[in-house]
Every structure is written in C-alpha cells, then in structure tokens.
C-alpha cells in the first residue's frame, strides 16, 4: 500500500541532516548560517556531499534546543534495523480502525500518541490526501522513526499491492516506491536533502488487519514486505520542532503535511505535603483534648467503687 495514503510523515524533531545523511547532527534553524559554500552544488548538479558546502556542525553553536542527530543508515536502535522499524510502523498503522487511526487524524494530532510505546515513536502518515497540520507530543529519551515516502505489499491486498511469496512481495514494494517521483522534507525550514542512502526494505513480516482497517480489507492475517526512505532520529532534547513534507507521485498527485513535534521531559508530580503515600486524601491527626482526658480520668474512681460495692455485696450474700 503506497503512502498516498502517503506516509507524509516525517518525523518531527529532527535534525537537519547533511545530504549524505551519514549520521550527521546539526543545530536547529536558529543556528548561525554556514559560510557561502552552503549554496554550492557538486559537479553532477546534485547537492554537496557532507564534506562540501555543509557547515561543520561539530563546531557550530547550538540553540537552546541543542543539536539533533539522524542515525547512520546502517545503525540500529533498540535492537532493530530501520527495515524492521518500518515493518513495525506498518503493523502499528493497520492495527487501528479508520475512525481512530492516527493516519486519518483531522483533529490536529489527538490520535498521534495512540498505540505508542517502547524506545521509538512512530510519526503518523497522511492517508487523507489533504494538506494538514498535526501536533505530536513525545517524551524525552524517545527516538523518532520517520519516512517521507514508503510502500508496502502483502498477500491479502489486491493488485498492484499483491504478492504470493517473499520474492513477489519485494519486487512489488520496490515497484510501488519507484512511483514516488520526488519528495521534499524540511525541518524548521532546513531542507533534509537527498535520502537515497536511507532507502531500505523490511524483512518479511506479519500483517494483522483490524476491523475497518485503513486498507478497507477484511480483518485477518497476511504476510507483507515494505520499502521506504525511513530514518531514525536519536532522542531529541526537549523543545518544539516543525516539519513540512511534500510528496509527488508519477501521476502528479501531491500531498503535503506539517508536523509540529513537541518533546517534553517526563513529569514528576509531587503529592501534597499533607498526603501520605498510598492514601487518597489528607491524613487527619489529632491528640485527645484536656476535657477528654479529664473525663476519662474521672471515670476511674467510679469504676473502682463499683467494683468494691460488688465485692461487698457478694460477701453479704454468702451463706453463713
């Protein structure tokens, strides 16, 4: 299934990355611009490599939000490759019925956190087709998986997304991704450049389709293979980031999405000082008043006298 449906999702917080995307890091848009060489192109007419015309971010002054990093293409995260994370993205995507699916969210991002857990946060795609803006809140310490474009084929979808076995599925996913004519991604106004080095395919994986799934298929289980330009952003520091993404297909269909990514430190909410751990309300503590104490003391002699009276009465009733 093509992301046209487009996985117009590009992960949020991301860092700007050099054109070669070889695990570079870069300060955000508030960092001072590089020297005049930043506008150069290579002899081939493409953007410069990471060593040509790209600011030396190792010495750059980062803004308050700090530098963000995109992992090298071959680097794993959380024990999984990018191809495996792409497979998990699709599994996450088809696990929701359309009415609550994050990829069909028109609320501005209310569903973005649905089903998110573990070391990587999936940025949803745009399955609606209309340009939109969503906001996603991510906990500090979480990596981001994103892709400007991707495709998936399975054993349960009709052509042109159908394949009988792994070989056919791989050929299908490649052919579908080739239908992406061009794409552009920017983070806080900075173009991410060419992501060709990040094109990857997934292993064969299981696809479990929910009721009213986004593919419009009967619920069930199939096998699938995906291919995408996915990449992983190392856990970004707290802050707000804006990503815009546009994708154009060979049939000239174009989709655009803006994702406002908010990275927050996990909260620690201290309970009120008067509340004991494990209780649901204030703990009431009181000491007996002097009147209560006096009243308790005044009953002691009466009790003693009563005991003596009982004893006397017992003795007087004993047989002579």
Mind listing the pLDDT tens digit for each residue in 71-123? 999 999 999 999 999 999 999 999 999 999 998 888 888 999 999 999 999 98
- Please tell me whether the peptide bond between 160 and the residue prior to it is cis, using omega within 30 degrees of 0: yes
Nearest one of 194, 226, 214, 208 to 84, comparing CA atoms: 226
Task: Choose between 251 and 208: higher pLDDT.
Answer: 208
Q: What is the pLDDT of residues 214-264, one digit of tens each?
A: 889 999 999 999 999 888 989 989 999 887 777 778 887 777 778 899 999
Tokens of 45: 């007419």
pTM assigned to the model = 0.67
pLDDT of residue 254: 76
Q: Within a 13 Å sphere around the CA of 19, how many CA atoms are in the beta-carbon half?
A: 17
pLDDT of residue 275: 60
Phi, psi (degrees; rounded to nearest 5) at 182:
-160, 160
Instruction: Reply yes or no on whether the pLDDT at 32 is more than 90.
Output: no
DSSP state letters, 243-274: EEEEEEETT--EEEEEEEEEEEPPP--PPPTT
Residue spans per domain, the chain: 3-31+48-264
Q: What is the mean pLDDT of the chain?
A: 72
Q: What is the pLDDT of residues 120-161, one digit of tens each?
A: 999 888 787 777 888 999 999 999 998 888 899 999 999 999
Task: Choose between 294 and 312: higher pLDDT.
Answer: 294
Instruction: Reply yes or no on whether the pLDDT at 212 is more than 60.
Output: yes
Instruction: Reply yes or no on whether the pLDDT at 308 is more than 60.
Output: no
Instruction: Reply yes or no on whether the pLDDT at 55 is more than 70.
Output: no
Plot region of 172 (φ>0 → left; ψ -120 to 50 → alpha; else → beta) = alpha
């Amino acid at each position: 299934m093509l992301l046209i449906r487009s996985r117009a999702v590009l992960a949020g917080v991301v860092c700007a990355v050099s054109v070669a995307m070889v695990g570079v890091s870069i300060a955000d848009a508030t960092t001072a611009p590089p020297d005049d060489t930043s506008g150069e192109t290579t002899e081939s007419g493409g953007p410069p490599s990471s060593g040509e015309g790209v600011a030396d971010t190792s010495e750059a002054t980062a803004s308050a939000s700090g530098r963000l990093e995109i992992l090298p293409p071959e680097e794993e995260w959380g024990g999984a490759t990018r191809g495996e994370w792409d497979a998990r993205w699709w599994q996450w995507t088809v696990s929701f019925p359309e009415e609550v699916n994050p990829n069909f969210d028109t609320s501005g991002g209310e569903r973005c956190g649905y089903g998110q857990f573990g070391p990587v946060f999936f940025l949803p795609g745009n399955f609606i087709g209309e340009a939109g803006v969503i906001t996603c809140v991510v906990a500090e310490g979480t990596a981001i998986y994103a892709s400007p474009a991707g495709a998936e084929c399975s054993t349960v979808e009709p052509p042109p997304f159908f394949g009988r076995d792994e070989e056919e599925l791989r050929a299908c996913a490649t052919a579908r991704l080739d239908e992406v004519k061009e794409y552009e991604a920017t983070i806080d106004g900075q173009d991410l450049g060419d992501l060709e080095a990040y094109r990857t395919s997934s292993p064969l994986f299981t696809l479990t389709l929910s009721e009213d799934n986004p593919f419009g298929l009967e619920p069930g289980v199939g096998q699938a293979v995906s291919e995408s330009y996915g990449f992983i952003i190392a856990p970004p520091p707290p802050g707000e980031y804006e990503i815009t993404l546009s994708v154009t297909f060979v049939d000239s269909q174009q989709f655009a999405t803006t994702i406002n990514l908010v990275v927050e430190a996990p909260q620690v909410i201290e309970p009120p000082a008067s509340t004991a751990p494990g209780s649901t309300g204030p703990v009431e503590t009181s000491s007996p008043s002097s009147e209560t104490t006096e009243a308790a003391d005044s009953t002691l002699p009466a009790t003693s006298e009563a005991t003596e009276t009982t004893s006397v009465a017992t003795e007087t009733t004993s047989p002579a």
